[in-house]
A and B are shown apart, each in its own frame.
Chain A
């Protein structure tokens, strides 16, 4: 393993950044030199030959699955709505396990039916984490910047602490942090062991003025780190997380309508450029020593 491959291995692409069928996306990601992929449930269930074929394609790709997204509007509901969402969560956890994903991404609720009571939110997340335990899956809870009551990561962290489950942690998304202008100083209160996923993306303008614009930007106009207006903040975020001890994965969570209209290889190349900038220019993580970990024989 060279120094360079050691760094690229810290980063992964998300299938949502690419157009086309799943096998083409996986191929483009691998051919750009990435070793991991964040999977969108839609890409699996929408596979032309069915979910089983999608799972086979992922396993055959050789790419490690960073995580699986996304469970929405899960927490804070009651009665039938809650039961319904528990069923949806179970289906997603089954898919997660089938495809070898160790992390399920959960976005904070935007539902007007959901309570803002943090203890109730924590109780539901605790239940979700319990559902995930037999499947060996960790739940990364992310503050969506237009979430109904949890819209910044310190609030997400608060309910994670209240829920107090070992497999429930934080999913950080740089887009939402920049959109809400949450101070990076807040990172100091986090336990790096409980950050289960960091998603990186930027956007092209300095400020987002309304919630509507925030949603539109998040869904259509994100760009890879290094391509947007907040490169310094992305660099700071990654440096701070590293200084605090975060050694987990970085995934590029880039929703962009333009990227849906250009060849997959071109998009993957842009992602690779972002990984090289962050990995070699900013992060400079050391690679694991050879033979420091033995892999149990795959029997």
Chain B
């Protein structure tokens, strides 16, 4: 139940119930962190800090933070095999007030994720997202760095490596099960104030599915693209996950050229190829894909 004080705050802006202000970090889980680190470095990210107590590394470029977590156990697939390909395990959202946002979404029916915080570590509130992923809430990101508490800077490394080609967070692409479009739309719109973009409004070279746009200003706004199985295909397992990250850049062609020089490969097929709207990397390590999208 919403407390009276909270209600006053939240009713101030129903369209932006948690005061969304962009993505603080995206977390990958992988048992092979160095291989993923190489892919991230090819994309322009730099390792800048290590976790004090766990096998976790922080990568950064420009405004974007990526956490690579090797301390989580790899999930077991339906055949009982360990699935060792990297997966996007969490997204941390910048919000106006993390505690208030957390209470708000729990009131509406989000699942709290129990946190296991070690001594001197930050307790970041989290809820369950798609698949086994989590959604964190982080506030006061302008006042201090959450990483200063849990991470130790890697010596001699620039702590603020600039973004290549103006890259910044654009959004996430989520694969969903059959007949799940309305469910996930309700999830993002009710909990966070996302709204559905008209079907004729698409970005980049991968226009399928439905695109939800988050509330907030242009600077921090991000998108969630929901993609169902192909029509006529019944996905019996109904597996759902965050399939890839979208990176905004003012000039996708130039960005792709730059990244090619660094060793990244891009999909060039009759269906998907690099153009002025965007580009798609080839799948790395069995699961890692980045999409470039034109966005100033």
Contact = CB atoms under 8 A, between A and B. Distances in A.
Interface of A: 78-79, 82, 90, 126-131, 133-134, 136, 165-167, 292-296, 298-299
Interface stretch (B40-48, B65-73, B232-240): B232-240
B182 interface: yes
A130 B190 contact: yes
Given A130-B187, A130-B190, A133-B184, 8 more contacts: A126-B109, A131-B110, A133-B109, A136-B183, A296-B233, A296-B236, A298-B236, A299-B78
A298 B237 contact: yes
Interface string B185-224: 1110011000000000000000000000000000000000
Contacts, number: 66
Contacts of B233: 293-296
Q: Give the top 8 A-B pairs by smallest Cβ distance, nearest first.
A: A130-B109, A166-B182, A127-B109, A131-B109, A296-B235, A133-B183, A133-B187, A167-B183
8 contacts: A127-B108, A129-B109, A130-B187, A130-B191, A134-B187, A167-B183, A293-B234, A298-B78
Contacts of B107: 127
B177 interface: yes
Main SS at interface, chain B: loop
A217 to B, nearest CB: 35
Contact of B111 (A90, A136, A166, A296): A90
B128 interface: yes
B130 A134 contact: yes
Contacts of A130: 108-110, 186-187, 190-191
A84 to B, nearest CB: 13
Contacts of A299: 78-79
A82 B1 contact: yes
Nearest to B108: A130
Given A127-B108, A128-B109, A130-B108, A296 B229 contact: yes
B107 to A, nearest CB: 8
Contacts of B86: none
Contacts of A129: 109, 186
B94 to A, nearest CB: 22
A129 B186 CA distance: 10
A134 B111 contact: yes
Contact of B232 (A78, A90, A133, A294): A294
A167 B187 CA distance: 11
B234 A295 contact: yes
A121 B78 CA distance: 38
B108 A136 contact: no
A136 B109 contact: no
B129 interface: yes
A136 B235 contact: no
B273 interface: no
B180 interface: yes
A299 B187 CA distance: 28
A166 B183 contact: yes
B108 to A, nearest CB: 6
Contacts of B190: 130
Contacts of B187: 130, 133-134
A182 B180 CA distance: 33
Given A127-B109, A296-B229, A136 B236 contact: no
A294 B233 CA distance: 5
A75 B240 CA distance: 29
Contact of A296 (B78, B130, B234): B234
Contacts of A165: 186
Interface in B106-157: 107-111, 128-130
B162 to A, nearest CB: 37
Contacts of B180: 136
Contacts of B240: 136
B237 A78 contact: no
Interface string B60-83: 000000000000000000110000
Contacts of B183: 133, 136, 166-167
A200 B275 CA distance: 57
- A82, A129, A166, A293 pick with most chain B CB within 10 angstroms: A166
Contacts of A128: 109
A53 B111 CA distance: 26
A138 B265 CA distance: 41
Contact of B237 (A90, A133, A296): A296
B186 A133 contact: yes
